[in-house]
A and B are shown apart, each in its own frame.
Chain A
């Protein structure tokens, strides 16, 4: 994580215009491309941990492995008003704060169980707000996961051109 942060900082400092050194090529492209987004490096880490907590990969497939963190960062940076963006950033910072109060470490450093318990706390605290921060992030995480190539192709049998319709198919028992 530290090396990744270092690259991000390097890229940010030079406006994202430098050619990548060869040692950086080992990184997955999606994890080093710096989009012109609104989040600090730490907020990125929290956002990534957050979507990883909502849909963990557990060795198979999860929100991070299909790039939901990249999607969310781009979506919030480009498609939402400043008020929403500020609210998201504030809430990401708050998660770190709650984590350090409760577990004496940053949110991304917590275990899955610890992070889940923190989110449950946040959700309960915001229960009365229909579009709470947590609900927003969760629904967008689900959206990003469901519309990813890996999930649509390998789990939903997405077909671009079905070319047929059968409205009387027996359901296998």
Chain B
């Protein structure tokens, strides 16, 4: 029996374990496998293989029996807020999979399958600048980031070249340029808006092409991954058979698999990280098999935690030992606190006259973008930080459907171009992290795996509301100056978390008294555990955060390999 256990334990031992296979977990797996480490990737959901497990990819609307609708029996028991349309229903999570306590209203969107939300993301990839890294220190909130742009620039390059990012070199200090594939030309109305901003705001406000993780011109490295050119199907979140956009499933996971060093273990719900009191470091991970409910332990020298912000917090909080009674690495009690997300409360739309001789043909996977212009160089407003703005203009077609019979049929068969173009914009604001915006584990309620339930307690703050009011005011002014009509700009009372950008709780910092991770994403108090997903964020910036997580992960993984070689882990 003893020898059997020894053998069995050996089979469950790896050089590295990565928990989570989304965008950041996929990158950890790729970098560690490339460095020759035998790596186990755990994911709590089912396996999703590139192409073969995208059941609705490239399907036309008429190929769905109920078109977009989903039968009631298939729809019931899913978490509120999950996508419930035929095209994406296979990604939805069942409510009993992981019940959650919302002490205050919050929307938590989950992607529980191999690849996670890398299959579902908006694929927007804007770099951080030092204006973002220096924010907390300058404006006196959270703690200072332990890194600056120069520390991560190389890793942005590294990730961008491999993932494939379409963009323009805009030369803006608020949004550094990267390694770009060709962009797609903005449309005539967006160009008009761009020129108007330049005319009225000079060098202070810019409208650019929104950089995105799509292959507009695949390079050798992308061909090696088996990926092809983006054909603008605009069905990205069903999975893309072309590999036209970056996902773990199309890119990092199969790449790591080809190294021969990767073992994938889907259906592995992580209960906790095991801490070895004698060695003074983590020794493995305890999982519950999703089907058999059997508890299994896996062992490794280093552990990467990449299960998405909320779960990474929860797993660490649940990893209790004599040394860490409040959760792994949580000596200061700050774990789960300073939760942040992005402020998407603002939305605006307007009618655009004067371009009735122009229209759009084809499709594109991205839009236009106005980088942050508020409080960039110094504090200028009565709220902290600022917001970027997503911009998209277009011209639709309409059919008068105010009748029935022959006329209705003829109208439907011959849609007419609408008289005018329309433009819409959306706000992407930086929420300042507050200590009382937090998540914690429930004292008594557990899920069906026996794991404590997560309690959310987070809300909008006055700074967020003021920031969104400013967006409404400024957007209205920019629209007026551009000559747009019927302007409708609003500060909407949406649920926090709706933008799916939750961040923080295990923040990076210099001082173990006020932060949980060091400058290389190691837990201050348990150096062989790295947290490189959204949980590590000290502050949120205004950029869609995935690119940042991926670059931090690649940086930390390479550091971990170096440290292992030096015998430091």
Residues of A near any B CB (own CB < 8 A): 53-58, 61-62, 71, 74-75, 78-81, 112, 116, 119, 138, 142-149, 151-152, 155-156, 158, 160-171
Given contacts A53-B405, A163-B229, A167-B186, 20 further A-B contacts (CB under 8 A): A56-B405, A56-B406, A61-B409, A61-B413, A75-B67, A78-B66, A78-B72, A79-B69, A79-B71, A156-B415, A158-B60, A162-B363, A163-B232, A165-B361, A168-B188, A169-B360, A171-B356, A171-B357, A171-B358, A171-B359
Q: What is the bound-complex CA distance between A55 and B361, given in angstroms? A: 28
| B531 CB to nearest chain A CB (Å) | 39
Q: What is the bound-complex CA distance between A133 and B360, given in angstroms? A: 37
| B355 CB to nearest chain A CB (Å) | 9
Q: What is the bound-complex CA distance between A150 and B401, given in angstroms? A: 19
Note all chain B residues with C-beta closer than 8 A to A144.
67
Contacts A116-B404, A147-B62 given; does A170 touch B358 at CB 8 Å: yes
User: Is B567 on the interface with A (CB-CB < 8 A)?
Assistant: no
Q: What is the bound-complex CA distance between A169 and B417, given in angstroms? A: 13
Note all chain B residues with C-beta closer than 8 A to A142.
401, 408, 412
User: Is B105 on the interface with A (CB-CB < 8 A)?
Assistant: no
User: Is B231 on the interface with A (CB-CB < 8 A)?
Assistant: yes
Note all chain B residues with C-beta closer than 8 A to A81.
72
| A171 CB to nearest chain B CB (Å) | 5
From the candidates B67, B188, B232, B408, name the one contacting A147 in the complex (CB within 8 A).
B67
Interface residues in B397-440 (C-beta closer than 8 Å to A): 401, 404-406, 408-409, 412-415, 417
Interface pair B361/A54, CB less than 8 Å apart: no
Q: What is the bound-complex CA distance between A171 and B534, given in angstroms? A: 46
The A/B interface has a contact count, at CB < 8 Å, of 122
Interface pair B409/A165, CB less than 8 Å apart: no
Q: Can you pick out 19 interface pairs between chain A and chain B where the beta carbons lie within 8 Å of each other? A: A54-B404, A54-B408, A56-B406, A57-B409, A58-B406, A75-B69, A79-B69, A79-B70, A146-B412, A147-B61, A149-B62, A155-B413, A160-B58, A165-B363, A167-B187, A167-B188, A168-B358, A169-B360, A170-B357
Interface pair A166/B408, CB less than 8 Å apart: no
Note all chain B residues with C-beta closer than 8 A to A166.
185, 360-362
Interface pair A62/B360, CB less than 8 Å apart: no
Note all chain B residues with C-beta closer than 8 A to A53.
404-405
Interface pair B409/A160, CB less than 8 Å apart: no
Interface pair A165/B406, CB less than 8 Å apart: no
Note all chain B residues with C-beta closer than 8 A to A171.
356-359, 417
Question: Which 10 A-B residue pairings sit nearest by Cβ, starting from the closest?
Answer: A167-B187, A161-B231, A165-B364, A147-B61, A78-B71, A163-B231, A164-B362, A165-B362, A79-B69, A149-B62
User: Is B144 on the interface with A (CB-CB < 8 A)?
Assistant: no
| B110 CB to nearest chain A CB (Å) | 24
Note all chain B residues with C-beta closer than 8 A to A138.
401, 404
Contacts A53-B404, A55-B409, A78-B66 given; does A165 touch B360 at CB 8 Å: yes
Interface pair A143/B406, CB less than 8 Å apart: no
Note all chain B residues with C-beta closer than 8 A to A54.
404-405, 408
Q: What is the bound-complex CA distance between A170 and B405, given in angstroms? A: 33
Contacts A142-B401, A155-B413, A165-B184 given; does A71 touch B360 at CB 8 Å: no
Q: What is the bound-complex CA distance between A91 and B222, given in angstroms? A: 57
Interface pair B405/A112, CB less than 8 Å apart: yes
Interface pair A116/B60, CB less than 8 Å apart: no
Q: What is the bound-complex CA distance between A92 and B163, given in angstroms? A: 55
Interface pair A80/B72, CB less than 8 Å apart: yes
Interface pair A169/B361, CB less than 8 Å apart: yes
Note all chain B residues with C-beta closer than 8 A to A151.
412-413
Q: What is the bound-complex CA distance between A78 and B65, given in angstroms? A: 10
Q: What is the bound-complex CA distance between A162 and B414, given in angstroms? A: 21
Interface centre among A112, A148, A155, A166, by most chain B C-beta atoms within 10 angstroms, is A166
Q: What is the bound-complex CA distance between A62 and B412, given in angstroms? A: 10
Note all chain A residues with C-beta closer than 8 A to B404.
53-55, 116, 119, 138
Interface residues in B362-387 (C-beta closer than 8 Å to A): 362-364
User: Is B190 on the interface with A (CB-CB < 8 A)?
Assistant: yes
Note all chain A residues with C-beta closer than 8 A to B357.
170-171
| B232 CB to nearest chain A CB (Å) | 5
Interface pair B360/A55, CB less than 8 Å apart: no
Interface pair B232/A165, CB less than 8 Å apart: yes
CB-based nearest A residue for B242: A161
Interface residues in B51-76 (C-beta closer than 8 Å to A): 58, 60-62, 65-67, 69-73, 75
